[in-house]
Amino acid sequence: MARRLRRSAVGVVTVGALLFCTAPAGAQDEISDPAEWRVRQQIVDYAFSQIGARENGSNGYPTRYQEIDPAVRRPVEWCGVFVNWAWTKAGVPDRPSMRAAPGAPAVDQGHWATYWQKWGQGNGRWKPLADRDVEVGDAIVYGNYPSMVAHVGVVVEVNYDRTGLKATHVRTVEGNVSDRVAYTKWRKLSELNTGAGLKVSGFVSPF
């Protein structure tokens, strides 16, 4: 099971530029691993920094998303490339590989959005939607492995119920949305989808 950060019941937990790398009010003494919390903040900071970034040509996403990892391809459908970039820049130590291992199916690599689900399940990082266990910095996965109808993004804000443990709403930053990086509105967990009936299956923790 993925390790958790203790959260307060203050409602919204949001990180990134708006909080300048600080914990939400009232929660500082509840953070079980400050190093992991800082990495989650970094993931969100990097995701926020890219809002509005656009393609240059068909699937020609910004080259900086490729430059950090020689296994990343370009041009290619790039929602998974964007999440890989944010996690890598933030210092997440273990991530889905962007290249399939020898003998593995071609879909078993991080360009494939639903592979994030499979990787999370195999590494104790997967959090099904029904658990409502969501934290900033998590990857949000739409669809189920090995479907080609899929998408993946980064959770950047979470609203919790009164217990501070169960998420009710999230906001995300996602690449390859209408050929750009997009910041979504608040959405209920029960209504998470990316159009055409493509629903969220769950979340992948960076730790």
- Establish if 5 belongs to a structural domain: no
In CATH, what number is assigned to the domain containing residue 26?
3.90.1720.10
For the CA atoms of 177, 183, 189, 191, what is the dihedral angle to 10 degrees? -50
Output the pLDDT for position 100. Answer: 97
- Establish if 2 belongs to a structural domain: no
Output the pLDDT for position 30. Answer: 56
Give the orientation angle of helix 79-90 with respect to helix 115-122, to 10 degrees: 40
Cross-strand partners of 154: 139, 173
Q: How confident is the model at residue 197 (pLDDT cuts 50, 70, 90)?
A: confident
* Number of independent structural domains in the chain: 1
Q: N- to C-terminal Cα distance for the chain?
A: 10
Query: What is the residue range of 199's domain?
Result: 12-204
pLDDT digits (tens, 9 = 90+) for 75-125: 999 999 999 999 999 999 999 999 999 999 999 999 999 999 999 999 999
Output the pLDDT for position 98. Answer: 98
- Establish if 173 belongs to a structural domain: yes
**Does the reported pTM lie above 0.95?**
no
Answer yes or no: is pLDDT of 37 > 70. yes
Q: How confident is the model at residue 195 (pLDDT cuts 50, 70, 90)?
A: confident
pLDDT digits (tens, 9 = 90+) for 1-36: 333 444 433 345 554 333 222 233 334 345 678 999
- Establish if 42 belongs to a structural domain: yes
Residue 34 burial (CB count, 10 A): 11
